[in-house]
Structure 1
Amino acid sequence: MSNERNVMTPDLLAALAPGFGDPVHDTQTVFRTLLDALARPGTIGVIETPLPAATSANASTARAGLAAFASLLALADYATPVWLAQPDAALAAALRFHAGAPLAQEAREAAFAYVHAAAALPPLEAFAIGTPESPEQSATVFVRVDSLTGGAPLTLRGPGIETSCSIAPAGLPERFWRERAALAPHFPCGIDFYLVCGDRLMGLPRTTLVEMH
């Protein structure tokens, strides 16, 4: 897959989605939600920061949903390339304008990635997993799912989980779980995931073991 190059044309500028109303406070609020989601895998977090862009039916970033857009705004900056799996010139323009984030042309170049169509998720080997010396130089990937509940049940174990917990996201291809398990031997390298749906998200850090039923 390739991305559309983001060009800030007059049309895009005219339709540019508003960013955070209070950038410092809103960024901190979203960041805390993201940290908590990774610290407690399997729990569902809610992005409560208001973003007019995500609540307006005509907004350029409505497609991404509040959780994905707000998270990328809070995390991305000029030093963190963002890769959009599905071309979205308006979303790219908003990220570049509000966060100053460059748009990566390949998944492996990305510090953050957004996959709007989970069925079109590229093989996980396409993303950076870091190195043993610098495991933090890996991608954090946001994947939009149909729902965070109602799918096939899965059991999570690992740090942040007392014994085990069950999740049932709907819409992820089954190969996702197999490919993710194949990354486990490379720890501390790996990929941290967020599953997003509307204003809700769930963290899935590289340290979490997932058992399919």
Structure 2
Amino acid sequence: MMQIDMTTLVPGFNDPVHDAQRVFRALLDALSRPGSLLAIDAALPDNHAMRDGLAGRVPLAAFAALLALADYSTPVFIEREDAVLGDALRFHASAPLTRDRRAAAFAYIDDARNMPSLDAFSHGDPESPEASATLFVRVPSLTDGEPLVWSGPGIAQTRTVGIAGLPRRFWHERAALATLFSCGIDCCFVAGGSLVGLPRTTHVEVN
């Protein structure tokens, strides 16, 4: 196992139990209200060292989410290897890192425009749909992209959402997965301290 570089280690939560619970509740809120812009900063501790250490590297929302969700039993895939992020997850969450996308419980995608095909990740299976991957995808903006109409559980009628930076093929690949329900992939799009949840139950109209 690679050694953790303690000289560059980013601090974790001030209160690991309660802060993780706050972030977890915020993530549940994001996925139960698809398309809603959630400032996850409100669920984070006042940890300036954590914020400063991640500045310009990884969106704070992505790091906090992974820190709250990952543990020793959930392999994490990082698309563009980042030693600072990897060391922090290994040290604070005891999360194993994997280079096998199919084995990942969680994945962090740093470049939305060049993200891998959704077929590269686990979709779960009918007996264990929860064994699918959850993706955290860094995007340039959560509001300035092409407006697409979302509908489904957690949305009263429809909601128009404009996630920027995603390739068109992402939406078509995701639509193809709808035939596999209850299997599929859940996504969170992250920018800075905010995120938007897109669970597998949400339908997105794509031309």
TM class, shorter-length: over 0.9
For 1:79 and 1:123, locate their aligned partners in 2 and report how far apart those are by CA, in whole Å. 24
2:16 alignment partner in structure 1: 23
1:180 equivalenced with 2:174 (yes/no) = yes
Q: 1:8 to 1:61 in 2, by over 3 A?
A: farther
CA contact (8 A) 1:76 1:82 kept: yes
For 2:101 and 2:83, locate their aligned partners in 1 and report how far apart those are by CA, in whole Å. 17
- Length, aligned pairs only: 204
For 2:58 and 2:168, locate their aligned partners in 1 and report how far apart those are by CA, in whole Å. 23
CA contact (8 A) 1:153 1:212 kept: no
Structure 2 gaps, min length 5: none
Which residue type is aligned with residue 2 of structure 2? V
1:3 alignment partner in structure 2: none
Q: 1:146 to 1:161 in 2, by over 3 A?
A: same
Moved over 4 A (4+): none
1:151 equivalenced with 2:121 (yes/no) = no
1:7 alignment partner in structure 2: 2
For 1:68 and 1:125, locate their aligned partners in 2 and report how far apart those are by CA, in whole Å. 22
Task: Return the match for 2:126 from 116, 126, 132.
Answer: 132
Structure 1 gaps, min length 5: 1-5
CA contact (8 A) 1:55 1:62 kept: no
TM-score, structure 1 as length reference: 0.92
Kindly provide the CA deviation profile for residues 145-177 of structure 1, in whole angstroms up to 9, marking residues without a partner as x.
Answer: 000011110000101111100100111111110
Which residue type is aligned with residue 38 of structure 1? L
For 1:150 and 1:177, locate their aligned partners in 2 and report how far apart those are by CA, in whole Å. 17
TM-score, structure 2 as length reference: 0.95
Alignment of 1:97-116 (within 5 A): 97-116=91-110
Alignment of 1:44-193 (within 5 A): 44-47=37-40, 48=42, 49-50=44-45, 51-56=47-52, 59=53, 62-193=56-187
* Deviation of the 1:62 alpha carbon: 4.7
Which residue type is aligned with residue 62 of structure 2? A
Which residue type is aligned with residue 48 of structure 2? P
CA contact (8 A) 1:65 1:197 kept: yes
For 2:195 and 2:185, locate their aligned partners in 1 and report how far apart those are by CA, in whole Å. 16
1:202 alignment partner in structure 2: 196
* Deviation of the 1:120 alpha carbon: 1.9
Kindly provide the CA deviation profile for residues 58-104 of structure 1, in whole angstroms up to 9, marking residues without a partner as x.
Answer: x2575112100000000000000000011111210110000000001
